[in-house]
Every structure is written in C-alpha cells, then in structure tokens.
Structure 1
Amino acid sequence: MSPRQQDMATQDDWDEDDLSDGQMKSLLHRAEQRIRKTESTKKQITEVSRIPKLDPGAIAQPYIVSTDGVARADPRRLLSGRDRRLSNTVRRVEDPVKVKERIKKEKRTTAGPDFFDMPRTKLTAELKADLQLLKMRSILDPHRHYKKENSKASVPEYSQVGTIIEGPTEYLSSRLSNKERKRTFVEEVLADETSTGRFKRKYNDIQASKTSGRKAFYKNLKEKRFGGVRKR
C-alpha cells in the first residue's frame, strides 16, 4: 500500500473518532512533505526545460555515398561549380619560350623612381653620332686628357639628353653666341674645325708619314728642292 493510501485509510479511521493534537500534527507534516516533493519535482522539470539546445550548424555531408551497395565518391562534391565551369571551357596554352620573349620586349619604359624615372634610350642617328664622339673626345683637344674607356661599350639602356643653360652670374666670355650654338656635338666639332683647321693639318701629317719613301714622296721632295722647276 502506498503512503498516500495509508494516509487516506488513517484519515478515514480518524474521521470516525475525534483527532488528537498529535494526529493533527502528523497529518500536517505529511502534507507538507508531499507539497515540498511536488514543488522540487516541478522545479527540476523547469530547470531542464530552460537549458538551451545546442545548434551544431550545418554539418558537412560525406564525400562517400552508397550506390547499389557500393561506396563511391560523390562527383558533385569533388569540384566546385566554378572549377567545373572552367574545366568545361577551352583553355589557351602558351609557349613558355614565347612568353619570356614577350616579357623581355615589354620591359619597363623608365629606370624607376630611384633613378628619377629616366626614360629608355631612343637611339637616333644624331644620338648615335654624339655617343661615338664622346668616346673619341680625347682627340678633340690635345691639351686635355680623359680616362680611357672600353671601346666596345654599348649604348646605355636608360639615358636622357639635356641642355645646359648658362646662369646669370657667368661672364660673357664663357658664353656661346647664338651663331656658335649648334644642335649636336658633331655640328659643334665641325664648326670648330672650320675655324681652326686642326684635323686637316693632322690628316696631312699622317698621310705624309704613310707615303714616306714612295715615288710620290720623292717627287714632291724634288719639287721642293728645285723650287718647282721642271726640265724641258
């Protein structure tokens, strides 16, 4: 018999007779215990219901699927949609040698900010003549001596031609007149040669040394000795 049934049986017995104080306290104590037990059970149920449910989020689907009892890899999961579209398109294959050649041709047009963005050398006929003249500058003035350079030096990859402008503090004697100004170095050298004639004299001296001992040399020597008198 359960405690509740026992209490009911006891209560029926007590209804027949008058309840004493001890019996009344016993009934109240049992009722209080039942109420506390019921409240604790409800509280536990409420606490369990308040616990938040964990959301694991989207669970990755397996790459292996079973087809007719055979485990196979799912082809839809192996490649993404973008890669699949790329695999179905035509791909252009380039020759690596030609790619390197194209890269060499498409070099930088300037030397970069570290070298003041100096442009690539555009070799023109005038610039080529000026560069050759700079290599031979030691023979232009016999009173100046320059450091010997490699005669096989190539054209600089990056270069720029500028114009020197005289300052307002320079003397007039150190300036060139507009008539003396030329566009290139070669034109200046030719104009200076016209006024001095140094190269012409040097050329005649070299030719005289080369023709020394030959028939023309002795013929000119006789003309100088006899004053250009010819025999009749």
Structure 2
Amino acid sequence: MAQLTDGQVDDVLREAEERLASRGSGTAPTVTEKLQKSTQPQPQPAGTKEKLSVRQLQKSTAPPKESAGPDWFDLPKTDLTSEFKRDWQILRMRNVLDPKHQKKTLRANPPAFSQVGEIIAGPTDFYSSRLARKERKRTLLQEAMSSRDDKIHTKSAEIRRKKASGGKGAYQRFLSQRRKQKG
C-alpha cells in the first residue's frame, strides 16, 4: 500500500463521515476504492481553505512516556527517590571529593530516563578487580568517603614516617631489630 499524506487521510476521513451521515445509500464507493483513488496526487486551488476534518477536531493528549523508546532499549522513567537524589548530588560534586581528577560536570536535574543497578563481578574477576567484603559499602556516599579516608590515612602515615625518621624512636627501633636478628 502506498504512503498517504495527511491531506489525503483527511479527505478519506471526511468522505467516510459523509457516507456515515447518509447512512449507507448503497452507491458510495468502499474505503479501499477511495484509498486507491486518493493515492494519486490531486492539485488544490490556491485560494481555498481546508475544511475542518475529524483529525483536527480530536485533541490528542499523549500520556506521559513511561520509557525512552525502543531506540534506547525501553529505558524506564527515573524513580526519584531520596537515595537517588542524594547519589545524583554526590555524582555532581565528584570534583570536590577528588580535586586532582577533573571530570565533566553533570547537569543539575537528574535524567528523565535512567536505571540504577548493582554491578556483579564475574568469576574471572575473582582476584583481579573484585572488592573484598570489607571494602563493599551500602551507598555511593559511603563508598566515596571510604576511598577519600583511605587516601587521607595513607598520606598521614607517610608524613608520620618522614617525621619519625632520624629521631630517637627510629634509632631505638633500628637497634631492637638488630638485636632480634642476632639472638
């Protein structure tokens, strides 16, 4: 079947209305015959106005979209919970958490269509990139703060080591280790 333009569809609908109004006089052509005739282009005079058709009378109120569509794998609409809002705010402020790593800033409003999930490690990641049970956190905020705390603890331990080297305590530790090796 050939593609129909909006004008042709309006003409077919208008004729169907007229046929329904006459209550089937019997001599009117069928819809398929009208469609076949309407696929041929028909010139319209420049000065005529279009009649009001059924298509223009009906107001189509489209319901809000529940998914992003098949091009986006039907990604569902974002469920704006308090946890999601907090995590979105943390993601937006990730430059504050780690100022040495520059990341692209995110928009202020959360996306209209998104999904939150949990990454499950596969069997091949057992030793290489798996998090131990102690390292796993319940929220994104706890995870971000723990990584920040780890950096702070390692830096402070490094500073303490540098300050302690060359002092009396460092020399006594050195002597006690030497005694342990001899005896």
TM-score (norm 2): 0.45
- Higher RCO (CA 8 Å, separation ≥ 6 residues): 2
Larger radius of gyration: 1
TM-score (norm 1): 0.36
